């Protein structure tokens, strides 16, 4: 079954004029969200094998499919983690910024690790980050972290100021941090990558049209449409459930 899953994915990549080496996260998510895609979960074994063999790069494939918030505390926990990253200056700036890009803007470690200083746009009034075709205005505390990271980024290899264009330099001079290393650093902060990103996407899909969601976050339009459809159903039920619990709560 795993072999058939690999064949299905490879056939689709060929139809798209892609290979495992040229496939990017947006392409993989586009395949995963197709109605006709078969053996999604089983294909994860093949993708992780390809990453281990360095045949593919900068891809993330969750080990378990997750279909949205399972309980009311999911989004609460996400915001609690975001507040910790915003205010806890004992955590490294680069880790705080990376975590917030996942928590607030649903960015995979693979996408975060490839950001350059050119993706941060500073004007007299605002600081923006370009995650997709349209730059996003960063709120004050996140903007400060972004500017700090631009000015203070360091190469872990040489432990000195560097002119590297990467926003998150890696251990090798001139190279960004790997997606795997970025993911590990976020996990050490207590962030569950797949669930956190799904919760963020659910919330954003309730607030933005799919076209804007795709252009803003740098995801494929078909992925944005899928999330918006899911959010329209599941989040409506979720909101109703929360509302019912609020009305039934005893008065203090």
Q: In whole angstroms, what separates CA 36 from the centre of its chain? A: 24
**Highest mean pLDDT of the ranges 33-42, 104-113, 156-165, 216-225:** 104-113
What residues contact 53, with CB distance under 8 A and at least 6 apart? none
160 pLDDT tier (thresholds 50, 70, 90): low
> How confident is the model over 10-36, as pLDDT tens digits?
999 998 889 988 888 878 878 877 767
Instruction: Indicate whether 53 pLDDT > 80.
Output: yes
Is 225 strand, coil or helix?
helix
Q: Distance between CA 198 and CA 32 in Å, rounded?
A: 14
64 pLDDT tier (thresholds 50, 70, 90): very low
Q: What pLDDT does residue 173 have?
A: 74
CB atoms within 10 A of CB 16: 13
pTM of the full structure: 0.69
**Burial of 151 by CB count in 10 Å (0-12 exposed, 13-18 middle, 19+ buried)?**
exposed
Q: Quick one: average pLDDT of 175-186? A: 88
68/129: higher pLDDT: 129
What residues contact 109, with CB distance under 8 A and at least 6 apart? 60, 98, 102, 179, 180, 182, 183, 186, 193
Is 120 strand, coil or helix?
strand
154 pLDDT tier (thresholds 50, 70, 90): very low
Is 137 strand, coil or helix?
strand
User: How wide is the angle at C-alpha 215 spanned by C-alphas 15 and 34, nearest 5°?
Assistant: 35
Instruction: Indicate whether 70 pLDDT > 50.
Output: no
Q: Quick one: average pLDDT of 183-195? A: 89
CB atoms within 10 A of CB 169: 21
Q: What pLDDT does residue 237 have?
A: 52
Instruction: Indicate whether 71 pLDDT > 80.
Output: no
């Amino acid at each position: 079954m795993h072999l058939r899953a690999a064949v299905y994915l490879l056939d689709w990549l060929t139809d798209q004029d892609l290979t495992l080496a040229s496939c990017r996260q947006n392409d993989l998510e586009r395949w995963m969200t197709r109605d006709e895609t078969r053996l999604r979960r089983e294909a994860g074994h093949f993708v992780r094998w390809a990453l281990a063999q360095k045949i593919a790069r900068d891809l993330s494939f969750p080990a378990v499919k997750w279909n949205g918030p399972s309980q009311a505390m999911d989004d609460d926990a996400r915001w609690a983690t975001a507040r910790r990253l915003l205010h806890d200056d004992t955590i490294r700036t680069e880790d705080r910024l990376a975590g917030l890009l996942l928590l607030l803007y649903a960015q995979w470690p693979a996408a975060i690790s490839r950001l350059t200083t050119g993706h941060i746009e500073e004007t007299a009034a605002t600081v923006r980050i370009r995650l997709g075709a349209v730059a996003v205005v960063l709120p004050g505390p996140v903007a400060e972290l972004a500017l700090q990271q631009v000015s203070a980024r360091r190469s872990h290899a040489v432990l000195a100021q560097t002119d590297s264009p990467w926003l998150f330099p890696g251990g090798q001079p001139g190279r960004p941090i790997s997606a795997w290393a970025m993911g590990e650093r976020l996990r050490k902060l207590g962030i569950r990558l797949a669930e956190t990103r799904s919760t963020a996407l659910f919330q954003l899909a309730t607030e933005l049209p799919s076209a804007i969601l795709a252009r803003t976050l740098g995801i494929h339009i078909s992925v944005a449409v899928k999330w918006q459809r899911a959010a329209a159903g599941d989040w409506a039920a979720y909101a109703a459930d929360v509302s019912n619990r609020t009305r039934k709560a005893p008065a203090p």
